[in-house]
Structure 1
Amino acid sequence: MFLASILMASAVAAAGAEVPPGTPIVLIRVVRIDIFDLSDPETSAWPYRWANALHVLTQERFIRSLLLFREGDKFDPARVAESERILRDTGFLSPVTITSLPCEGGAEVVVETHDQWTLEVGVSFGMFGKRKHYGASVADDNFLGWGKTVDVGYDSDTERTSWTFRYKDPLLLGSRWALELEHRSASDGKTNAFQLEYPFYSLVTPRAGGIEWRKESLTDYLYSDNRKVVSGSVDRHHFLVWGGIRLPSNALYTNRLILGVFSDVARFADWRWVDGGAYPTPEGREMRGFQVGWDHQVDRWSVVRGFRSWQRQEDVPRGPNWGAFAGFSLPTFGADRTRIPLSGYFSIGSLDGSQYSWLNASATGRLEQGGMANSIAHLDVGTAHTGSAGWRARVAVDFGHNLDGDKQLTLGADTGLRGWDPDTFDGTSRALANVEWRHQLTGEVLHLGIIGVAIFADAGTTWNPRVGPSTEGWRGDAGVSVLIESTRAALLRIVRIEAAWPDHGKGPLILISSQSLF
C-alpha cells in the first residue's frame, strides 16, 4: 500500500508538471474509450454490452493519422490544441483530451478519445407545422472505425422523394487526400457529384488543392403561405479546379492565397404558376473563367459545453476570420457574357466567462452589365450563456438585391419564425430576432441522453415579395420546447420538440427537429 501510494503520488506529480514547448516527443499513447464503460456497474448491463459489441471502435491508426504531430517532433501546444479540434470535428469523437507529461528523454503525449454511436438503421421523421419529412436509411459516419461515411437513404418531403447514395473518405488510401461521391435519384430528376481534394486540414498546411464536379436536374419551386405557387425545371452543372498556398504567417494567424478555374452553368425551362399560367422563366447563365481568393484565419478558439448541447465539447471560434473571393467569367473562356462573381465573409467571437457572443457576416453576388445581380448580404449577431441554464438571443438579417428569378428569401418555422408554417411569408429580404431561455432538467438519463426545457419568442419581417404576401410588418410568436440531447450517438445532437403560438391568436404550431436553431 505504501509503495502504491508513492507510485500514485509520483504519477500525479508528473501529470501536473508542464512540458516546455520544444521538448522532444518520445512517445504518443492513444487511449480509445468505447461508447459505454463496461467496468462501471451502471453501464455494465446487457443493453450497454450489446451496444459496445455492435459498435466498431475507432481505429488507432485513423486517430494517429489526424494528429498534427509525430513521435520525434518538438512539442507544440498550438498543434496539440488544433489536433483536439480536428478529432472533435469528426463528429463521432467526443470528448477528446490530449495531455502531456515529462518522461525520460522528453515528453509523453496521451490522446484520449471517446467514441459515439454512428450506425443508423431505421426511419426518420421531422415536422414543421403542416410540412412533414419522412426518411429511412442505413448509414455510418465511422464505417469499420476508419472515419469513412457510407449512406444509403430514402427521403420524402414536400418537394420530392429520392434515393441517395453517399460515400466520403477523409483519408483516402491513408493519405490526406479526401474523396466524396454522391448519387441521388429523385422523383423529379437526379444529382451526381464528385470531389477529390487535398484540403487545408490544418492552419499550418502549406498547400492544398482539388477538383469538384456536380450535375443536377430537378424541379425547383417558389413558395407562398406554405404552398408551392411556381414550379419549373432547372439543370445545373458545376466544375472547379483549385489550388492554394499558405503565405508567410506567424503562430497566431494564417493567410492563404487560392486560385482556380471554374465553370457554372444554369439552364431553366417551363416555369409556370401552379394554376397553369406562364411565369417568367429565370434567365440562364453560362459562367466560365478563373477565380482568386484570400483567406485569413486566426488561431483563437475556446472549448465550451452547454452552447448547442449540454454535455458535448464544442469548439467555438473567436477570430477574427475573414475571406474575399472574386471570379472572372469572360467570353474568352466560353462564358455567355462578362460576369464577376463576388463573395466574402467575416466572423468574430468572444468568450467572457460563460457568455459566448458572435458576429458572422457574409455577402455573395455578381457584378454584370454595370450593376450587382443576385446579391445577398447576411448578418448574424448573437449571444448565449453556456452552461446548464441561461438566456440566449440572436438577430439575423438577409438583404437581397436584384435576385435571380429562381430565388426568394421566405420566413417561417424552418428559418426561425416558429409560429408559422415553413415558407409562409414571401420576400427578397428578411430579418429575424430570437430570444430563448434554456434549462437543463436532468443528468444523463440511462446514460443515453439529457432532457431540458426552453421558453422562447421570435419576431420576423420580410419585404419586397416576389410571388406572395410578405409579413406586412413584424410578426411574432412565443412558445415552449422540450430539448433532448443525445449524449452517446453522433447521429443527433439536440432533438427539439416545440409548440409555438403565433400572434394572430391561432395555434399552436408543433415542430420536431434535430437541427439547432442557433
Structure 2
Amino acid sequence: MRIFICLSLLSFLILCEPRDVGSETYIRKIRLKRLNVFDKELEHENNFIYKTANRLHIVTRERVIRRELLVREGEPFDSMALYESAKNIRALPFIGEVYMDIKNAPGDSVDVDVTTEDLWTTVVGISGEGGGGRYVVSLYADEKNIAGLGMAVETTLKFASDDDNGFSIHAYDNRFLGTRLFTDVWCKDFTFDEQLKLFVSYPFYKIDTRWSFSCSFNRLKLRKRLFHDGKEFFRYRRDITSFLLKGIRAFGKFNRIEPYLQYVYNDNDYGIELMDNPYNVLIPEDEVLSGPGLGFKIYTLSFATARYLDEFGTTEDLNKHLTFDINTTWSGPTFKGDYEAALLEIKSGFLQEPIANVYTGFKNIYSCYCNGSTSERIINKMETAFYFKPSTYHLLAVRYLSVFAWQQQPDYQLVLGGNNGLRGYSDRYFDGCKLALFNFEYRLFTPIEIFTVGLGAVAFFDAGYVWDDHERVKIDDLRSDFGLGLRFGLTKSSTARTVRLDMAWSSDMSDWYISFGTGNLFELARFK
C-alpha cells in the first residue's frame, strides 16, 4: 500500500510538470563580455584608484564563464536553461552581476550576449567581529579567484578576547579540474578546536540533472566549554571523527521527488581536561554511531530574484520552494557501531513571496534517536522570517528562532547573548536547553555610495531567553534589548557584501554593548 501511494504521488508530480513547447529557434552565436571590477565606474569617472585596481586584478577567464552556460551554439534556444545559466554564474563568489541580451539573427536563430562583472577578489587586511564583551580580531589574506581560474584560498590568523586564538586555511574550487565536482578543504588550529574537513560533491547544477553525490570527512578536536551567566565553569575534551556518503536520484523538475541513500559514521571520544573536577560527571561516554540510511525529499521549486533584501542593490537569487524531507539511519553492532538506535530526522520548510514585496521563510528540523519503544536526544529547531518592502530602500525584517531539546546528553547546552541574537547582553549570558529568540529590524538602504561602498542604517529590537530542562517556558521570562546600527554595503567585494556596526541597550539591565561583524544577524539565505 505504501509503495502504491508513493508511485501514485510520483506519477502525479511528473504529470504536473510544465512541458516545453517545441521551438524552431536556434542559438547562432554566444558572445561573452567580461568586465573588470571597476569598468562601469570608469565610464563615469576617470579615477586613478579604479584604474590601478583594474590593472592589478586578473579578469575571470572566458572558459570559466562558458563552462557555467547550459546552452550551446547550434542548439535550440531554451529560456529556462539561459535563466539557470545566469543564476549559476551569479552564484560564483567572484562574479557580481550578470546580464544576458537576446538578439534576433538572420533566419530562425538568435544571438546571446552575456556580460559579467568581476568582484574584487584579492584581500589582505584586518577585520573584527564581536558583541556582548567578546571580540575577535582577524588578520587575513584571501584570493577568491586565483589567476582568474575560479579557485579560492583563504587564510586567517585569529585573536580573540577569550583566548580562542589560532590559524586557519580554507581552499575550494567550484569546478575541480574543469569537472562538475565541487571540492572544499578546510584546516584550522585554534585554542579550543582543531579541525580537518574535506568535502566533495556533484551537485544538481540544473533543473534537468538527475543524480547528485556527496562525500565528506571531518576530524574535529574540541576543548568544549560550558557556561553559566556568561562565564565558563567547566571544560573537557571531545574528539569527533565523522564520515558521510550520500547519493540522490531526482524525479521531476519543478515538482520533484528525490529519494536518497546515505552511510553515516560518527565516532565520539571524550576525555578529561580538568582533573578532580566535580563537573567531570557531565562528560558523556564514548560512542560510535555507524550505519546506512535512506530518505526522500518532496518539494516544489521556482526561481525569482530581488534586490535590497540582505544586500546593497546586487541581484539576490531566491529559490522559492515548499519542502518536506524525512530520513532514517540505523546504527548498531552489525555496522561496527556501539550505539544501537534508529536516527530519525524530519525537515520541512518554504520560501515564498505570497504577495508583491512580501517574503516569508520557514524551516523546521525534528530529530531523535529511537531505541525500541523509547526516544531520546530529541531536538526540534524552528526558524521563520518575514520580510516586507514598503519601498525600494526600506525593509522590515522579522525573525523567530526556537530550539527545544529533551532527554539530551548531560553536556548539552544552548547559549544566548552578544553576537548570537541578544545584542544588548554579554556573550553567552543565558544558558539552558530550550531557546526562544525574536529579532526585529527596520533596514534603511540608501542610494549613497562612497567609492562603491553603500551606506545604510538599521533600528532593531531583540527579545529572547533560554530555559533549563526543568523550567516552564514563560513569556514573562523573555529579556529584550533595542538599538541602532550602521550598514556598509561592499558592492565590489567577494569576501563580505555587508558590514554591520550596532549599539544595543538592554531593557532591564541598563547596560549597552557594541556588536559588529560581516553579514546580517539573520538573512533569507538561510531558507533558500
TM-score w.r.t. the length of structure 1 is: 0.89
2:204 to 200, 204, 208: 200
Cα distance in 2 between the residues matched to 1:149 and 1:262:
29
Q: Pick which of 174-183 and 362-371 moved more.
A: 362-371
Superposed displacement of residue 252, structure 1:
2.0
| Aligned-partner residue type, residue 107 of structure 1 | V
Contact 1:317/1:348, CA 8 A, preserved across alignment: no
Match of 2:465 in 1: 461
Distance 1:203 1:343, change over 3 A: farther
Cα distance in 2 between the residues matched to 1:253 and 1:349:
15
Superposed displacement of residue 473, structure 1:
0.6
1:218 to 218, 222, 225: 222
Match of 1:71 in 2: 73
Contact 2:130/2:419, CA 8 A, preserved across alignment: no
Contact 2:224/2:238, CA 8 A, preserved across alignment: yes
Is 1:435 the counterpart of 2:437? The answer is no
Cα distance in 1 between the residues matched to 2:379 and 2:75:
46
Is 1:187 the counterpart of 2:179? The answer is no
Cα distance in 2 between the residues matched to 1:371 and 1:29:
62
Distance 1:277 1:291, change over 3 A: closer
Secondary structure of the structure 2 residue equivalent to 1:397? strand
Cα distance in 2 between the residues matched to 1:472 and 1:179:
48
Cα distance in 1 between the residues matched to 2:139 and 2:314:
26
1:229 to 233, 256, 262: 233
Distance 1:334 1:395, change over 3 A: same
Superposed displacement of residue 61, structure 1:
0.7
How many corresponding residue pairs? 496
Distance 1:286 1:315, change over 3 A: same
Superposed displacement of residue 483, structure 1:
0.9
| Aligned-partner residue type, residue 210 of structure 1 | S
For structure 2, the 5+ residue unaligned runs are: 1-20, 523-528
Superposed displacement of residue 297, structure 1:
4.0
Contact 2:406/2:469, CA 8 A, preserved across alignment: no
Cα distance in 2 between the residues matched to 1:53 and 1:226:
49
Distance 1:391 1:480, change over 3 A: same
1:385 to 379, 383, 388: 388
Superposed displacement of residue 354, structure 1:
1.7
For structure 1, the 5+ residue unaligned runs are: 1-18
CA RMSD in angstroms comes to: 2.6
Is 1:426 the counterpart of 2:427? The answer is no
Match of 2:156 in 1: 153
Identical amino acids, percent of aligned pairs: 23
Distance 1:99 1:348, change over 3 A: farther
1:120 to 105, 123, 127: 123
Distance 1:297 1:51, change over 3 A: farther
| Aligned-partner residue type, residue 112 of structure 2 | V
Cα distance in 1 between the residues matched to 2:134 and 2:276:
18
Q: Which runs of 4+ in 1 moved over 6 A?
A: 273-276
Superposed displacement of residue 260, structure 1:
2.2
Superposed displacement of residue 515, structure 1:
2.4
Is 1:415 the counterpart of 2:420? The answer is yes
Alignment of 1:86-485 (within 5 A): 86-104=88-106, 105-157=108-160, 158=162, 160-188=164-192, 190-247=194-251, 249=252, 251-270=253-272, 277-351=279-353, 352-368=355-371, 370-386=373-389, 387-446=392-451, 448-464=452-468, 473-485=477-489
| Aligned-partner residue type, residue 289 of structure 1 | G
Cα distance in 2 between the residues matched to 1:102 and 1:273:
77
Match of 2:16 in 1: none
Cα distance in 2 between the residues matched to 1:138 and 1:378:
35
Q: Kindly provide the CA deviation profile for residues 464-504 of structure 1, in whole angstroms up to 9, marking residues without a partner as x.
A: 2699xx99811111100111111111211211111111012
Superposed displacement of residue 416, structure 1:
1.5
Cα distance in 2 between the residues matched to 1:277 and 1:337:
24
Q: Kindly provide the CA deviation profile for residues 96-121 of structure 1, in whole angstroms up to 9, marking residues without a partner as x.
A: 23332321341222222111112121
Distance 1:505 1:238, change over 3 A: closer
Distance 1:296 1:494, change over 3 A: same
Contact 1:271/1:280, CA 8 A, preserved across alignment: no
Q: Kindly provide the CA deviation profile for residues 15-35 of structure 1, in whole angstroms up to 9, marking residues without a partner as x.
A: xxxx99562222222221111
Secondary structure of the structure 2 residue equivalent to 1:259? strand
TM-score w.r.t. the length of structure 2 is: 0.88
